[in-house]
Chains A and B, each alone.
Chain A
């Protein structure tokens, strides 16, 4: 979780990712951000988030995203 928050914080230092729950709906994360996040996650967690997992539900909050990463790690 720490690593993830770090990744997100680098992109948008002004946002409090621990509490924000509508990152996509509020248009805070754009498609460039998402791609960057996925590349970073792949780099640090070794998990590749497939395209069809890019949904508002999975990216609206840091915790949702973290859950997704956990799930994908388990599947491997």
Chain B
């Protein structure tokens, strides 16, 4: 069930209707059932995958909790009789056990993800090597990628690591854990919520709150506006350009880049708006995933503001553990001795950064495009880190850092930089991506934009009008947002204005949304019987 299907809207109406009519203590159970029904629609075999992950995570979580209890009990009982050394040794033993269970759980669930998502990618690479040695190629396996598996697997991994670290107690009710993992608004594209962040409001009893409900609904509408009116309309041109690199090179690569940035932003943030809005209608608070990312002045800032829950996930569960683990600290120590302070200091950061971005790339998709994309992100971040002193000097000399013009320059620079990297997201392989990027400089001919070819990309003048107005609205909303919630601001206006905004938004989606069978008068051409 896609968010943009009629089935989903019907499903949602039923769930929300029931949610506020059944006894409050059943609310979370209803959501659990609804989530499984929602997931069932993407194929019943998917239910097996997610159930296996839920059960294994649950069991290991409980096991970890028991080990913790066991330790506390043992230490309390033998408080007097044990020497500090013995205590330490006991703790260490339990710790090892905990780590083993954690590792088992991580390997198991990551293994499922790896097998379904990366088997064919691995086979393709092995085959490439095989052909070099003239060996027989392996055949590809036919595995269906369960919907949202990357997202829910990461949720469970975060949960189990936190439990192992003793951040919070494991969830004792498997149903509640199952709801955390499968909560339907988040299932397809996140945000990757943390258990301690989401669980409380997820299991609480919620009374109908008109304001909260209205705000949630408005956010859902805003999400649909971005997705249906802008993203789903401009996508035609993005596909036309990127699927035909032979026809569209030079300036069109730039056009494609910008269109794709608009599409991706409208689609992804729109989807998240729908997710968070639905949750809000249910009285549940879901973490924000975006913070006006295209206003970022640097790439590190961008990654703090774009797909936030993924960024922090990688930071907390890969970057930090990797860069402060003992072997890494030892590497740091020894490399400082060997290469000197300046270089030695950088080694842990460099190693962890590259690892994180390699995995981030891989997580986005099983192809070299994403891996190269991830690595390039890492490289750009490290390079800009190295340039920092240079920037500082520049700002010392020229006092422009706080001028509007310079900030705008930084925002545009960051936007273009991130858009360039995203080229890898669009073209069929790494080679084509680089060639297209190069053609922007070698075959640049701005005149091509004015010979009518922009209208041959699957968008006509009226489409452009809608997209341009839509983008202007998006930017305006973001600008207004800087000084606080737009919905709060609208709520402060007289009722007539509030309703007008709502009605306008609603009907712009209905009328200008790119959905349904396009009315094509051509198919009416006389040929009746």
Consider the complex of A and B and state whether they touch directly, i.e. have CB atoms less than 8 Å apart. Answer: yes
Q: Is B79 part of the binding interface, using a Cβ–Cβ cutoff of 8 Å?
A: no
Chain B: minimal CB distance from A45 (Å): 12
Q: A39-B345, A39-B348 are in contact. Are A49 and B165 (CB under 8 A)?
A: no
Q: Is A28 part of the binding interface, using a Cβ–Cβ cutoff of 8 Å?
A: no
Q: A51-B320, A52-B167 are in contact. Are A32 and B349 (CB under 8 A)?
A: yes
Cα-based distance from A30 to B298 in the complex (angstroms)? 13
Q: A32-B385, A43-B333 are in contact. Are A51 and B345 (CB under 8 A)?
A: no
Interface of B is mostly: helix
Which parts of A33-58 form the interface with B (CB within 8 Å)?
Answer: 34-36, 38-39, 42-43, 48-52, 54
Q: Is A3 part of the binding interface, using a Cβ–Cβ cutoff of 8 Å?
A: no
Q: Is B316 part of the binding interface, using a Cβ–Cβ cutoff of 8 Å?
A: yes
Q: Are A34 and B320 in touch, CB under 8 angstroms? A: yes
Cα-based distance from A50 to B99 in the complex (angstroms)? 14
Q: Is B329 part of the binding interface, using a Cβ–Cβ cutoff of 8 Å?
A: yes
Q: Are A51 and B321 in touch, CB under 8 angstroms? A: yes
Q: Are A48 and B321 in touch, CB under 8 angstroms? A: no
Q: A30-B300, A51-B324, A52-B165 are in contact. Are A35 and B329 (CB under 8 A)?
A: no
Chain B: minimal CB distance from A8 (Å): 14
Q: Are A48 and B332 in touch, CB under 8 angstroms? A: no
Contacts of B407 in A (CB 8 A): none
Chain B: minimal CB distance from A11 (Å): 10
Contacts of B315 in A (CB 8 A): 31
Q: Nearest residue in B to A42 (C-beta to C-beta)?
A: B329
Q: A32-B385, A38-B324 are in contact. Are A51 and B316 (CB under 8 A)?
A: yes
Q: Are A35 and B326 in touch, CB under 8 angstroms? A: no
Contacts of A30 in B (CB 8 A): 300
Contacts of B345 in A (CB 8 A): 36, 39
Cα-based distance from A39 to B349 in the complex (angstroms)? 10
Which residue of B166, B300, B304, B348 is within 8 Å of A35 (Cβ)? B348
Q: How large is the interface on B (under 10, 10 to 19, 20 to 34, 35 or more residues)?
A: 20 to 34
Cα-based distance from A27 to B349 in the complex (angstroms)? 18
Which parts of B121-152 form the interface with A (CB within 8 Å)?
Answer: none
Chain A: minimal CB distance from B475 (Å): 24
Encoded as 1 (CB less than 8 Å from any A CB) or 0, chain B from 311 to 353 comes to 0000110011101111001001100100000000100110010
Which residue of B165, B166, B320, B332 is within 8 Å of A31 (Cβ)? B320
Cα-based distance from A12 to B300 in the complex (angstroms)? 17
Contacts of A39 in B (CB 8 A): 323-324, 329, 332, 345, 348
Cα-based distance from A49 to B323 in the complex (angstroms)? 11
Contacts of B316 in A (CB 8 A): 51, 54
Which parts of B278-321 form the interface with A (CB within 8 Å)?
Answer: 300, 304, 315-316, 319-321
Q: A48-B329, A51-B324 are in contact. Are A35 and B167 (CB under 8 A)?
A: no
Cα-based distance from A49 to B326 in the complex (angstroms)? 10
Q: Nearest residue in A to B312 (C-beta to C-beta)?
A: A31
Contacts of A34 in B (CB 8 A): 320
Chain A: minimal CB distance from B300 (Å): 7
Cα-based distance from A43 to B341 in the complex (angstroms)? 12
Which parts of A50-76 form the interface with B (CB within 8 Å)?
Answer: 50-52, 54
Contacts of A32 in B (CB 8 A): 349, 385
Q: Are A35 and B333 in touch, CB under 8 angstroms? A: no
Contacts of A31 in B (CB 8 A): 315, 319-320
Q: Nearest residue in A to B164 (C-beta to C-beta)?
A: A52
Cα-based distance from A41 to B230 in the complex (angstroms)? 50
Q: Are A35 and B320 in touch, CB under 8 angstroms? A: yes
Q: Are B349 and A54 in touch, CB under 8 angstroms? A: no
Contacts of B300 in A (CB 8 A): 30
Q: Are A36 and B324 in touch, CB under 8 angstroms? A: no
Contacts of B385 in A (CB 8 A): 32
Cα-based distance from A30 to B319 in the complex (angstroms)? 12
Q: A30-B300, A32-B385, A48-B329 are in contact. Are A38 and B165 (CB under 8 A)?
A: no
Q: Nearest residue in A to B91 (C-beta to C-beta)?
A: A75
Cα-based distance from A49 to B325 in the complex (angstroms)? 9
5 pairs, CB–CB < 8 Å, chain A vs chain B: A38-B323, A42-B333, A48-B324, A51-B165, A52-B165
Sample of 10 further A-B pairs with CB below 8 A, known A43-B333, A50-B324, A54-B316: A27-B304, A35-B324, A38-B324, A42-B333, A48-B324, A48-B329, A51-B324, A51-B325, A52-B165, A54-B320
The 8 tightest CB contacts between A and B, nearest first, are: A52-B165, A51-B321, A51-B320, A35-B323, A38-B324, A39-B332, A42-B329, A54-B320
